[in-house]
Amino acid sequence: MRLVIQRVSHASVTINGVCKSAIGRGLMILIGIEEADNKEDAEWLARKAVGLRIFDDENGVMNKSITDTDGNILAISQFTLFASYKKGNRPSYIRAASHEVAIPLYEHFCKQLNELLGKEIGTGEFGADMKVELLNDGPVTICMDSKNKE
């Protein structure tokens, strides 16, 4: 499972011209799921994402987590995070999980975030054509992979 986490001033996701979710200050998380992923991957990444100390403290040092700042989270599924670009110029998405695997894991990941954050997070809609807007604050962008626990 892969995440791209961005610290944002605000973010939103729109589907068919209707805003599905919008947040103020917090984290916008893109989630890619592959066939080999499981609930343990989702739980580990949720804990790591919520625990990231990437918000400024009173001294301007990135020392606070999303829970310390009462921030919000917007979580969006994005199968293209598993694009393979080894051959040619047209990416292959063969590593991305099928809907049968990905949807339950995406929902489990979001449920974990809700519990860890202590409030509802914003979400997109799995498989929809989504328009995502955000203002990256910093910019701060962190990439995580449950198969490469650095």
By annotation, the residues acting in catalysis are 78-80
Amino acid at 5: I
Question: Cβ atoms within 10 A of the Cβ of 119, count?
Answer: 11
At residue 139's C-alpha, the angle toward residues 33 and 90, to 5°, is 45
Rounded to whole angstroms, the Cα distance separating 78 from 5 reads 12
Rounded to whole angstroms, the Cα distance separating 78 from 9 reads 21
Rounded to whole angstroms, the Cα distance separating 1 from 14 reads 24
Encode 13-33: b = buried (16+ Cβ within 10 Å), e = exposed: bbeeeeebbebebbbbbbbbb
